[in-house]
Amino acid sequence: AALTELAEKSDLLTYEFENVDQDVLARVQKRTGVLVPQGVKLLTVTSNRINEKNFLRTHGLPTTDFAKVASPAELKVAVKELGFPAILKTVSGGYDGHGQWDINSEQDVKNMLEKWPKNLLAILEKRVDFVKEISVMVSRDNCDQVKLWPITENQHKNH
């Protein structure tokens, strides 16, 4: 309801965050006719970590090793395949450490199995040592003019 109200008062809607419900956005766009310059298809890739990793690999970009995890049994298999250290993440909806669990030992696996969240669909990612993480923002206007915003460094503590 709030998104419909916003759309009815706006000439266009944009988003810069992957945790936008693409189905709701598509329905609101269709119902109100509001312009969504980015479209909705992009969210099917960026809002799902498995889709995102597969998309990147399909386009020749490297990713860490990963495995889909939809059950405690699948977590055990994924840990055997990927090893330690790893991070278990929700496939969607998580951000900045929310919906993430460090899996660094058999004890971490045991702890996770004991408190397995109901209906969890997750991805286990092999932990990667990295020097820094950066974000690149690119925008395009209705005249197809592309603007690259300054690259920024992301700084994390405890995810």
**What are the tens digits of pLDDT across the range 39-73?**
888 888 989 999 999 999 999 999 999 999 999 99
* Judgement on whether residues 10 and 36 belong to the same structural domain of the protein: yes
Is residue 135 in some structural domain? no
* Judgement on whether residues 72 and 107 belong to the same structural domain of the protein: yes
Q: Give the 3-state secondary structure of residue 126.
A: strand
In this structure, how many other beta carbons lie within 10 angstroms of the beta carbon of residue 33?
9
* Judgement on whether residues 83 and 110 belong to the same structural domain of the protein: yes
Please enumerate, as own/partner, the contacts of 36-45 that have beta carbons within 8 Å and a separation of 24 or more.
36/12, 37/12, 37/140, 37/141, 37/142, 38/14, 43/15, 43/18
Query: Which of 25, 27, 9 is closest to 17 using CA atoms?
Result: 25
Return the percentage of the chain with pLDDT > 90, whole number.
Answer: 70
Is residue 145 in some structural domain? no
Confidence of residue 105 (pLDDT cuts 50, 70, 90): very high
Is residue 34 in some structural domain? yes
* Judgement on whether residues 116 and 72 belong to the same structural domain of the protein: yes
Mean pLDDT of the chain: 92
Enclosing domain of residue 77: 64-126
* Judgement on whether residues 87 and 40 belong to the same structural domain of the protein: no
* Rg over CA atoms, the chain: 19
Is residue 147 in some structural domain? no
Model-level pTM?
Answer: 0.83
Is residue 153 in some structural domain? no
Which residue did the predictor score with more confidence, 141 or 11? 11
- pLDDT tens-place string over residues 106-115: 999 999 999 9
Q: For the chain, how many structural domains are there in total? A: 2
* Judgement on whether residues 72 and 22 belong to the same structural domain of the protein: no
In this structure, how many other beta carbons lie within 10 angstroms of the beta carbon of residue 57?
12
Is residue 36 in some structural domain? yes
